[in-house]
Structure 1
Amino acid sequence: MSIFSIDETHDPQRQSWVESANGHSEFPIQNLPFGIAARAGQQPRPAVAIGDHVLDLAAIADLLPPQTHDALQAGDLNALFALDEAVRRALRQALSRLLSDPAHRARIEPALCPMADCTLHLPFTIGDYTDFYVGIHHATNVGKLFRPDNPLLPNYKHVPIGYHGRASSIRPSDVDVLRPRGQRKLPDAPGPIFGPTARLDYELELGVWIGQGNALGQPIPIGEAAAHIAGFCLLNDWSARDFQAWEYQPLGPFLAKNFHSTISPWVVTAEALAPFRIAQPPRPEGDPAPLPYLWDDKDQSAGQFSLALEVAIRTRTMREEGTPAAALSASNASDMYWTVAQLVAHHSSNGCDLRTGDLLGSGTISGATRDAFGSLLELTQGGAEPITLPNGEKRSFVEDGDEIILTAHAHRDGFASIGFGQNRATILPAIA
């Protein structure tokens, strides 16, 4: 058995005695994502989402595999996801049985809490965060804005491009974002000025959580990389585009990116996503083949995921008027030029040690058409073509009071659909 395997936990006919889970668009019993949650007056500890409820795992630890008991008392998921893949699979199977068999209801029900009454925290203590750039449509669109005749740099199709981000400023969904202040230079100005960003943007990304890591100096082979991936989340790597344009040469992103990144709080496990694995789309004719350390036949045949990704906006005016969020774009994880296993293999190929709880970002995932662009930079052509929202408001970039909402859902005929929950945050004015 492996993370590629489909077992009884994926059975679309399996129902839960937690009634809200049955047919739930995000968290049916076939999902069982992990997180860190706290009831009022309690310390944060490991939990699982089931329907509209949160299950406190420490409260039912005696019913779960003994190898997990110590990890279920912790305030993060690091110890749990450092365990062997087989132990994690046994835990998932045990939870699926317990939540589907009414004989266990009396014992487990007191450990359930309505999700609305719980506070969700960062799932891991994040040691390191690396953001990649694997959305080829995004890379091409952005490149065209600055290099119309040569949008993709020569290395793009040979190596997964990435940079090291800032782990300390990652926050879970529903934590407001302060508009950052920094240096920017207007095109005709003689020098830079310091102040709030005027070109704040979101980025629709897939987050990848590392499970078991590797020792320093010991690369992870591409054929083993998938086993080191614990699960996934949604990532919004907020970007100050005007800061970025001024500072990124020659060393790349810095203050334009490190002020705040938002993640969805639930870890959708690699095991839960097994039915939604698909082949990596073939490279266009003429593109170079990956070097051998980045190539594995199994990864090419099942290393990508069919995940529908969406971005929506709800402005302050929309909230005041009680109108729903407006859709901005919809893309799919299959628009990634590299697989997540290739990211892990490349990241460790020089001997870099990855650790449990490290976060990798995919980079902005955009589709080939405008309605699938994953950032406002692309949707508005660098701000030159503002978009008009259904209520008549216009946006070139994100304004104060705007709430940006990311969602993701996995669908496949013959299986229950699962979701990631929401990644949402509202922009607050910069501090004077």
Structure 2
Amino acid sequence: MQNNKMSRSCSLGHSPISTRFERRQECVDYFSSCSDHAKSAFSKNNGLPTCYCSMCFKSPSREILLEVRKRSDQTASPELVYMNSPQHKMLLMEYALVEITNACKLSDSELLAKVGVVDALSSAMLQAHSWYHYDQQGIFIIGSVLSGYGMEKCDLDVCLMMSTTEVQRSAALRVLAGVQGLLHQTIRWCNCELIRATVPILNIHDNSTGTTLNLNVNNVVGLRNSHLLRCYANYDWRVTPLVLFVKRWARSHRINSAKNQTICSYALTLMVINYLQCGLGSCPLLPSIQQTQAEFFNEDVPVLIGNVVMPPYIQQSCNTMSLGELLLGFFDLYANNFKFDTTVMSVRLGRHLLLEQVRKAQPTCQDAHSADRQAPLNSYTNAQLFVEEPFNLTNVARSVYDPQTFKKIKAIFQKSYQILKETKDPYRILNNKI
């Protein structure tokens, strides 16, 4: 039986288009809803379901789209009429999005390996008893690995919490220098570098697994926003694949690095969430969780016990748009309709703010509970893109300050939207030559 299935699958790649259509129609008939189908596939942690096999929905999906474009209006055969319909193109688009995001997301095995690395680092740190003279101690995973938007082979952001309050930059440097001295005495952790940035980081390379860790000290905001983003991921199943695809798209075009004056992954994530909050008209996909769940996300909640985890996908939204429709709307908003020079994206409030008003209030924003008090007061003055940090209210996109670089970024958004609108093929916009 297994050999027969394999023989049939292998023949699909070279079969006539009608045969491939019949195989796809079986998949369509089997599932009552395109979105339910994609949701089921994305929730699978160990491989892809049969109907998402590479023979059925990887190369053939692009082949079919190409053939539809070539043969449209040339025949009235029922299968090509259906395949050329907007409904079928959006269905294939959703299949492709799920496949892409399943391929690039952090796997369960890699996640467990990263957790093991953190445990090993914690054990090494326990050797230095002198570090533990603060109220609370521990090494905590933060960033995309915790929030659920981690991609394969991503770095691991961790925070050494020595108290529930932030520390001055000079104190953080002393702590990290001490950790560096401790790790230099080991074989596994000896390759580490202290980066004396505004927020100091100890870059640690695990010689045993090849994992890279970025260790900071008492990053209260990092813990809070990681928990917040995880709640958004759990609010609706469509959030995570959208974020992952946008991050994958930005990486393919090399516009995802603050070092290169482009958009950091954190800012991209907030852009997607804010679009789902206020870019969908009268039927948003996401609320402002900081307002609807304010008891978990205010400065009175101790950061180490504020690790609220919302049950996944129990929230009800009036929005029934598919992944493809949401992605197309995301690029349409930032390519054609967003006023970058006058607007600030605010996930905290779930809406857009006027830049002029934010600039006037910015000096008082530094009084908020913040692990980044050294963030420049002019983070809303010299930048080209404005994305509010949900807790310390600074501009997390302040690295995008060069007009020519931002012009290039907007051009990539516009070209990607045009291609996606015409082809409904997300693979096409992952080409960095567009």
TM-score (norm 1): 0.28
Structure number with greater CO (CA < 8 Å, separation at least 6) is: 1
Q: Which has the higher helix share?
A: 2
Instruction: Determine which structure has more spread, i.e. the larger CA radius of gyration.
Output: 2
Q: Which has the higher strand share?
A: 1
